[in-house]
Structure 1
Amino acid sequence: MAAVPVIVLTGYLGAGKTTLLNHVLRTPDARIGVVINDFGELNVDAALVTGQIDEPASIAGGCICCLPDEGGLDEALAKLADPRLRLDAIIVEASGLAEPVAVGRMIRFSGVDNVRLGGVVDVIDAATHFETVDRDPTPPARYSASSLVVINKLDQVGEADRESVFDRIEARIRQSNPAVHVVGAVSAKIDAALLFDITAAEDHSGQLSLRELLLDEAAEQRDGHDHAHPHDGAHAASVTATSTGDIDPGALLDLLEEPPAGVYRMKGVVAVRARDRSRRYLVNTVGNTIHIAAAPPKARSNTLVAIGTGLDLDAVRARVENAVRPIDAPAPAAGFRRLQRYRKLSV
């Protein structure tokens, strides 16, 4: 079974992280596990949580990043990663005091089987950010850990100043994290497709790989661009490429290591021939984190999906198609070694 993505949700008190969580929990057909520090204080909608799983896994004792090695988090993740729950994702909502760097590291080096880091999402209050969080000449250390930053509450900034405030916050973040994905939001409403895939939707459609994202195909075909603006709520777009045969792992990794502008996640199944045997791999990336594992036996054709915002769809499609183009030879040794290094790091 594919590893369950564990998404770390951080943000200072009042930034809107619990609002974002409750919004994501309303995603139709999604099955989400939730790890929270204190269920009562964080005000997660209990009906939404219990509608997805039997109960949230609650951690007592305050800040997640302050838990002892043997305490809390791994036990909660192990409970929620049980294959019988068939969860699409696990979201860890950290307290406002938790440092994203520490929480992300705890997930990455967790001893729990069947989980992988699904990104670190930091929610920012656009109206008060420079009074409460970013007040010093040096950018806060938390910027460096995030894979996705949601600049929330843009409606609380005057319309004339909205774009300049967004750009100022983004510029500060990129001083220490140039590759981070930054989107704007009102009421913390972002497209859940940026965070995870919905297994139930895939099963219902009969597709092996990957949720078909809700796009306006007519708009896509008009000029080959995703019209969602990064300030208006993070609407996701996707590009899918398929092929049959064995691919060049070097070409795939060139794409995964340097994704096209606007791409936040990629996932897929690919075949690589080493010597006289074809092997199939399950690929997942989020931000700059690459996870490669053995593919399930039912996987057949190559499928690779790139998901993000503000995409130049034609340019993204060209690169994704190139990454899954078959080759009539065993994988070049250098590319296969690169693939195996990621495979070992993903265990």
Structure 2
Amino acid sequence: MTTPRPQVPVIVLAGYLGAGKTTLLNHVLRQPGARVGVVINDFGDINVDAAWVSGQIDEPAAISGGCLCCISDTNELDTALERLAAPRLRLDAIIVEASGLADPATLARMVRFSGAEGTRLGGVAEVVDAVHHAHTAPSGHDAATRWGAASLVVVNKLDLLSPGDRAAYVGAIADTVHARNPRALVVGTSAGSIDPALLYGVSEAADDPAQLPLRELLLEEARPHPHVHADAVSVRAPAGADPGRVIDLLERPPAGVYRMKGTVVVRSGTRWRSYAVNLVGSSIHVASAPRAERSELAAIGLHLDVDTVRHRLDHAVAPGAGAPPAVGLRRLQRYRRLSR
């Protein structure tokens, strides 16, 4: 039996010119732990933005010639993603930094339906300039599509506002975003200093010393934390998760949870099957996974009620009594078909 190829999450990093996308990207790349590939989109024959990316990039791939979502031939993007998703690189995530004029919803569709094998859409992060947001904020149809596509909205440059105004300002932007997309996570920061865990999760392959497992990256207490720090909860359980409970958790995650990732082992007839499950915002992705001996699940978010989240995760992956309900298994497999 052929082992399924691991799928590398591709995160679209969007935002208007000057919002701080490259600053945020540099901050993330400087953090220890994960192996990240980068695709930088720019105008003209020279990728000006690429010169400003000073962090550690395991495998860069630059795309020139215009806004990605305006390219009639998407082969260039597919080629870059295919190159970065090669198993030999062992990348944990790929970040596509879009030009300021790119439409994130269109870009997300291009990534989701890319011909690149071994990739999946890992979410859309929109960077907002706190100082000039009032002049660049989308409105009408543009607002509905832009905020609707976002799984993470980063309100950047808060240090340029008076301390007493920052919380109210972020709250006002969050209200605007949530009116169109209630599941989007909105955070405020300065100099793009977010916890990389909000942007991507990394491999669960704990037995491979060349990889950093998700729980190790998130729970290592000695690592210096950036200004916006994510909470994380992880659980393990013997094989036999109830697929219906797993889908219930993914469809209705605990308050504050922005991402979930892990492997669940369920019974299908007389056989055990392993599935890799991922949640980013409201986007659920399920894929077949290499055979595992146990279920593992991790949740990431801000200001989590850790006890409540742990209880929900434990309940989802705890072995059920007897064979799992056929309805739950069909729901899980439906998400797997939709995720292809």
Taking structure 1 as the reference length, the TM-score comes to 0.88
Q: State how 1:44-123 maps to structure 2 within 5 Å.
A: 44-45=51-52, 48-49=55-56, 51-53=57-59, 56-123=60-127
Query: After alignment, is 8-17 or 274-283 more displaced?
Result: 274-283
Give the secondary-structure state (helix, strand or coil) at the position aligned to 1:72: helix
Can you list the C-alpha shifts for 1:319-342, whole angstroms capped at 9, x where unaligned? 011001101311201101100101
SS of residue paired to 1:68: coil
Corresponding position of 1:306 = 299
Secondary structure, counterpart of 1:40 in structure 2:
coil
Partner of 2:132: 128
Contact between 1:263 and 1:307, CA under 8 Å: does it hold in 2?
A: yes
Q: CA RMSD in A?
A: 2.4
- Between the aligned partners of 2:68 and 2:286, the Cα distance in structure 1 is 27
For 2:193, give the aligned amino acid: K
1:135 is displaced (CA, Å) by 6.0
Tell me: CA distance 1:156–1:47, structure 2 relative to 1, closer, same or farther (3 Å).
Answer: closer
Partners of 1:30 and 1:200 within 8 A in 2: no
CA deviation map 1:9-36 (0-9, x unaligned) = 0000110001011111112132111111
Q: Label 1:105 to 1:136 Cα distance change in 2 as closer, same or farther (>3 A).
A: closer
Shift of residue 198, structure 1, vs aligned partner: 4.2
Q: Distance in 1 between matches of 2:187 and 2:54?
A: 28
- Per the TM alignment, residue 288 of structure 1 is displaced from its structure 2 partner at its CA by 1.2
Is the 8 Å Cα contact of residues 139 and 172 (structure 1) preserved in structure 2?
Answer: no
Partner of 1:238: 232
What number of residue pairs does the alignment pair up? 330
Residue 249 of structure 1 and its aligned partner are, at CA, apart by 0.4
Measure the CA separation in 1 of the matches of 2:137 and 2:243: 42
Within the alignment, does 1:193 sit opposite 2:197 as a pair?
A: yes
Shift of 1:343: 0.8
How high is the TM-score relative to the length of structure 2? 0.90
- The corresponding residue for 1:35 is 39
Asked if 1:333 corresponds to 2:337, the answer is no
Q: How far did residue 138 of structure 1 move? A: 8.4
**Percent identity of paired positions between Structure 1 and Structure 2:** 51
- Structure 1: which amino acid aligns with 2:133? H
Given candidates 259, 270, 275, the residue that maps to 1:281 is 275
Shift of 1:152: 0.7
Q: In the TM superposition, what is the alpha-carbon distance from 1:58 to its structure 2 partner?
A: 1.4
Unaligned runs of 5+ in 1: 218-227
2:316 is the alignment partner of 1:316: no
Matches of 2:194 and 2:205 in 1, distance apart? 19
Conservation of the 8 A alpha-carbon contact between 1:4 and 1:87: yes
Residue of structure 1 aligned with 2:218, choices 213, 216, 233: 213
What secondary structure, in the 3-state scheme, does the structure 2 residue paired with 1:112 have?
A: coil
Question: One-letter code of the match for 2:137?
Answer: V
CA drift of 1:197 comes to: 3.3
Shift in Å, 1:83: 0.8
Counterpart residue number, 1:172: 176
In the alignment, residue 229 of structure 2 is paired with which amino acid? Answer: H
Quick check: 1:29–1:201 contact (8 Å CA) kept in 2? no
CA contact (8 A) 2:50 2:62 kept: no
The reply on whether 1:296 has 2:300 as its aligned counterpart is no
Task: Please give the alpha-carbon distance, in whole angstroms, between the structure 1 residues aligned to 2:193 and 2:78.
Answer: 29
Instruction: Decide whether aligned partners of structure 1 residues 233 and 144 sit closer, same or farther in structure 2, where only a CA change above 3 A counts.
Output: farther
- 1:142 positional shift: 0.8
Which structure 2 segments of 5+ residues have no match? none
Q: CA deviation at 1:189?
A: 0.7
Q: Distance in 2 between matches of 1:179 and 1:46?
A: 30
2:127 touches 2:155 (CA, 8 Å); kept in 1? yes
Equivalent residue letter for 2:218: L
* 3-state SS of 1:323 partner: helix
Aligned to 1:225: none
Q: 1:84 to 1:188 in 2, by over 3 A?
A: same
Instruction: Map residues 234-273 of structure 1 onto 2, 5 A cutoff.
Output: 234-273=228-267
Q: CA deviation at 1:137?
A: 10
Deviation at 1:199, TM superposition (A): 4.6
User: Are 2:317 and 1:346 aligned?
Assistant: no
Structure 1 window deviating more from structure 2 (26-35 vs 197-206): it is: 197-206
Secondary structure of the equivalent of 1:166?
helix
> Structure 1 residues 211, 197: CA separation in 2 closer, same or farther (over 3 Å shift)?
farther
What is the CA distance between 1:281 and its match in structure 2?
A: 1.1
Shift in Å, 1:244: 0.5
Say if 1:291 and 1:200 are closer, same or farther in 2 by CA, change over 3 A. closer
* Secondary structure at the counterpart of residue 273 of structure 2: strand
Partner of residue 19, structure 2: 15
Instruction: Work out whether residues 119 and 287 of structure 1, in 8 Å CA contact, stay in contact via their aligned partners in 2.
Output: yes
Match of 1:6 in 2: 10
Contact 1:215 1:237 in 2 (8 A): no
8 Å contact from structure 2 (residues 47, 62) kept in 1? no
